[in-house]
Structure 1
């Protein structure tokens, strides 16, 4: 794997080597395995439906790395779902999913933590929108983690599951191995609770509130040739974005606390949209947008000029999320002159995880 250089200033240069490993070979149990858990495996199948997320911004890129989750941030859940079906077996582990290595790794983490010696039968369906800013990996992981936990009698809390996912967050490599990836914890937090979440460092859930109930969410994916994954993502997040957050992290935290949270309390979508628009030009979010060229700013600016209430790019993009009272027909008429199309039409999910059991 490549060695990447992180430069935060003239005297701040760190080399980071991406280490790939086989699933199950580098497990972070966080000391949770020291407790004895009473396991009660169920006879049937546990079904979990988890909403995907829009990740609006990281608070401070300087506080996380591929093997150090955190950094804070904000995001919200949308009605675009991943599902996991899990049943207990005597020994074998069967995974029906095209990204099996990341699941194999977390199965190993979970079994080691709770002391489960049996196996699992796991089937996953994801939303199939990968590396466009909708959090396919984190959504799948919280669905599977919750389903396994329910299948053996719920020995762990949702907070413990979030932390285990964050510290064992991996992406698959080309040869079927895995490597640690970036994780702020926004995805699992909003998938569990629904609505909007504000995260602090070390995966702490600072604030949660329902968001834009009944409003429409339109995901627009502008054309781009820029990658939002792999080494290009690393270069972006750990260099330019890190430097910009040195400068703007205090302002971003102030905007979260003094403007965004009051807007959520009041149900003021337009005010929340104004805060997010300001953040699009601040710190690491600016680096993420410019990663796809200034054309993304052009598209978002044109959308704002159409008096849309809430416009923001998700994660490292290129997906643009619009939250508005306007219906699909009105939205299509509005964006057609811009050469854009609606990729996903949905709403905010304010419910969170849905768990059902089948005997």
Structure 2
């Protein structure tokens, strides 16, 4: 079977994600997936065209080329796919650049071929086949499910696997600020094998905190998320940086300065502050009318931060040129 597209060209805009923490607890002790994340509007676009007269793909990366073949097999078509995409954010520092591109590709191709894959199946597909590009090699990566959820739905998302999800739409007057401290370097890529090993060690070393994490996540964090209780969300997110995988990451990369910044940002008026994914990207959520105040406080204390301000995405991936 060679399925035909409903149109041959499409452009989508895709948000990036900030990965707040993983959700390992007593309810998913052996699960390597799950977490919470924030979807940010980075205004990055992907243009895609399909050609039924060829089977060759033209993409800017091995990862996208790989997922073109995954999608062909999943949907059932044999045409060639041309992808144009420009990334303007730092790679491998916490923005989720790879998973955002993958999700944009999946949404676009799925639309071109009649939306035959559900959003849940797209999340599952990405998690199952996730890859990263290291040099000229394609290696298996580890995707918690946070990236696809943020790319698909926008807002703040709490996921435990490819299906369970709690979603929060954030008020317009709240923005996200990100920065990479000058004391750190980025591009710290961790292979799947290394990451699996590190996570396994961190899980072994953190058994004593499972009960505490379970209480924080299920009895406090989810209710606070549903009520949009920023004080509670900020406090719990900060605590989760001191246990489990996030603590292990901070110790492994010696993120002393970054963790101190979390405390300082919360004291200065941030609603939530944290370290995204493996870092070293710091982020904080703040009400727009307090941004200048926090910037002044930080400057007075000697923190000359070069930060970027983002709006929180409301919709996730958006299709820009649907044909009626």
Query: TM-score, length-normalised on structure 1?
Result: 0.80
Structure 1 residue 133 and structure 2 residue 97: aligned? no
Residue 196 (structure 1) aligns with: 156
Residue 277 (structure 2) aligns with: 315
Q: CA deviation at 1:150?
A: 1.1
Distance change in 2, residues 1:211/1:333 (3 Å): same
Query: 2 CA distance for matches of 1:127 and 1:204?
Result: 30
Q: CA deviation at 1:121?
A: 1.7
Residue 3 (structure 2) aligns with: 39
Q: CA deviation at 1:321?
A: 1.0
Q: CA deviation at 1:116?
A: 0.4
Query: 1 CA distance for matches of 2:221 and 2:207?
Result: 21
Q: CA deviation at 1:307?
A: 3.4
Runs ≥4 residues deviating over 4 A? none
Between 1:276-285 and 1:231-240, the stretch displaced more is 231-240
Residue 122 (structure 1) aligns with: 83
Between 1:279-288 and 1:118-127, the stretch displaced more is 118-127
Alignment match of 1:52 (pick from 7, 16, 22): 16
Q: CA deviation at 1:257?
A: 2.0
Query: 1 CA distance for matches of 2:124 and 2:196?
Result: 25
Residue 274 (structure 1) aligns with: 235
Query: 2 CA distance for matches of 1:345 and 1:291?
Result: 28
Alignment match of 1:335 (pick from 291, 298, 303): 298
Query: 2 CA distance for matches of 1:179 and 1:230?
Result: 10
Distance change in 2, residues 1:292/1:305 (3 Å): farther
Distance change in 2, residues 1:224/1:157 (3 Å): same
Q: CA deviation at 1:131?
A: 1.0
Q: CA deviation at 1:226?
A: 6.9
Once superposed, what is the RMSD of the aligned Cα atoms? 2.5
Structure 1 residue 182 and structure 2 residue 142: aligned? yes
Structure 1 residue 352 and structure 2 residue 316: aligned? yes
Query: 2 CA distance for matches of 1:63 and 1:141?
Result: 26
Count of residue pairs the alignment pairs up: 314
CA contact (8 A) 2:262 2:274 kept: yes
Alignment match of 1:87 (pick from 28, 46, 49): 49
Alignment match of 2:248 (pick from 281, 287, 312): 287
CA contact (8 A) 2:6 2:112 kept: yes
Unaligned runs of 5+ in 2: none
Query: 2 CA distance for matches of 1:118 and 1:235?
Result: 35
Residue 324 (structure 1) aligns with: 286
Query: 1 CA distance for matches of 2:173 and 2:127?
Result: 31
Query: 2 CA distance for matches of 1:237 and 1:348?
Result: 31
Query: 2 CA distance for matches of 1:351 and 1:80?
Result: 13
Q: CA deviation at 1:151?
A: 1.5
CA contact (8 A) 1:127 1:136 kept: no
CA contact (8 A) 2:14 2:151 kept: yes
Q: CA deviation at 1:177?
A: 2.3
Q: Secondary structure at the match of 2:49?
A: strand
Query: 1 CA distance for matches of 2:310 and 2:122?
Result: 27
Q: Secondary structure at the match of 2:58?
A: strand
